[in-house]
């Protein structure tokens, strides 16, 4: 059964969540602070969905490993498609 949850507000909790995800990355060339510096952008891209954020960061990390860059950048994140829930939230917000 699918449960629809609301948007996580862009507040300190969101910023801490992004920081926690970033601190768990094990990429050799990732510069700490990159994701936390993009917290507002990540919130907009994911519609504030924690699940969508997790999927986006995971996909970016896997891409960074496969491509050999070993770091997540804004450019890389911009090329990672978001999941269906995030797309739906973005359409509603527009």
Q: Is residue 21 part of a domain?
A: yes
Question: For residue 65, what pLDDT is reported?
Answer: 97
**CATH number of the CATH domain containing 54:** 1.10.8
Q: Is residue 2 part of a domain?
A: no
Name the pTM for this structure. 0.84
Q: Is residue 38 part of a domain?
A: yes
Domain carrying residue 62 = 12-93
Question: For residue 8, what pLDDT is reported?
Answer: 86
Tokens matching residue 60: 């970016």
CA distance 4 to 6: 7
Question: For residue 46, what pLDDT is reported?
Answer: 94
Q: Is residue 59 part of a domain?
A: yes
Q: Is residue 4 part of a domain?
A: no
Number of domain units in the chain: 1
Q: Which residue ranges in the chain fall short of pLDDT 50?
A: none
Question: For residue 23, what pLDDT is reported?
Answer: 96
Q: Is residue 3 part of a domain?
A: no
């Amino acid at each position: 059964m699918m449960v629809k949850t609301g948007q996580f507000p862009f507040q300190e909790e969101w910023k801490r969540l992004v920081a926690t995800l970033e601190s768990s990355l094990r990429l050799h060339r990732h510069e700490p602070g990159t994701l936390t510096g993009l917290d507002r952008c990540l919130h907009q891209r994911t519609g504030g969905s924690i699940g969508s954020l997790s999927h986006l960061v995971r996909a970016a990390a896997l891409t960074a490993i496969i491509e050999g860059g070993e770091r997540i950048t804004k450019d890389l994140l911009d090329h990672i498609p978001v999941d269906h829930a995030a797309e739906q939230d973005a359409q509603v917000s527009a």
